[in-house]
Amino acid sequence: MRTPGTCVARTGDSDRGLGNLVTSGETSARMKRGGFLYLPLLVLMGIQVLYGIYWALHDLSARMGLWPDADQAAAFVASLTAVQEVFFFSHVVMNVVVLALVCMRRWWALPAFVLSFLLDRSEWVMMTDNIVFSSMVDVDAWAMFSFALQGAIIALLVILVAEGRLR
């Protein structure tokens, strides 16, 4: 039973109508307890966004002729396909969208990040055959870093959505 002036919210995903009815005070307390996982998620998403921007700047700087070795930049740009570039830049934009959704504590961050992950992994599969790129960077180390980071983000998103801490 509620007292007058007390708001009632659903735990879990209120947009889908899941969960039990609780007072706003209980929901607030539940969200605060989620900070233990929510803050690391914010940090990891920040790293993910910066990581994507780093590689986007790398790509754009080659196109703008800002690399010290103009021949290497031209070879790099020529080695990329249009599909690869669409996947890559879509992934970078999706990371920013996911960070915004996480900041708003929206459960849509999970499916949005899974889409971002699929775009990134698809682009990385295409990059494995790119001899120019492979000769410039340690592809295996970057792939493992990226995969571990994305795996941790997905795990945190799944936990927070399952516990109703993203609404």
> How confident is the model over 65-84, as pLDDT tens digits?
999 999 999 999 999 999 99
* Percentage above 90 pLDDT, the chain: 69
Residues 24 and 48 in one domain: no
Tokens at 61, concatenated:
């700087």
Nearest to 63 by CA among 49, 78, 52: 78
Entry pTM: 0.78
Count of domains forming the chain: 2
Rounded CA-CA distance 59/130 in Å is 14
Looking at residue 9, its pLDDT comes to 41
44 shares a domain with 8: no
Residues 68 and 149 in one domain: yes
Residues 60 and 96 in one domain: yes
Give one DSSP letter per residue of 143-163, joined into a string.
HHHHHHHHHHHHHHHHHHHHT
If asked whether residues 79 and 94 sit together in one domain, one would say yes
Partnered with residue 21 across adjacent β-strands are: 10
Q: Which parts of the chain sit beneath pLDDT 70?
A: 1-34
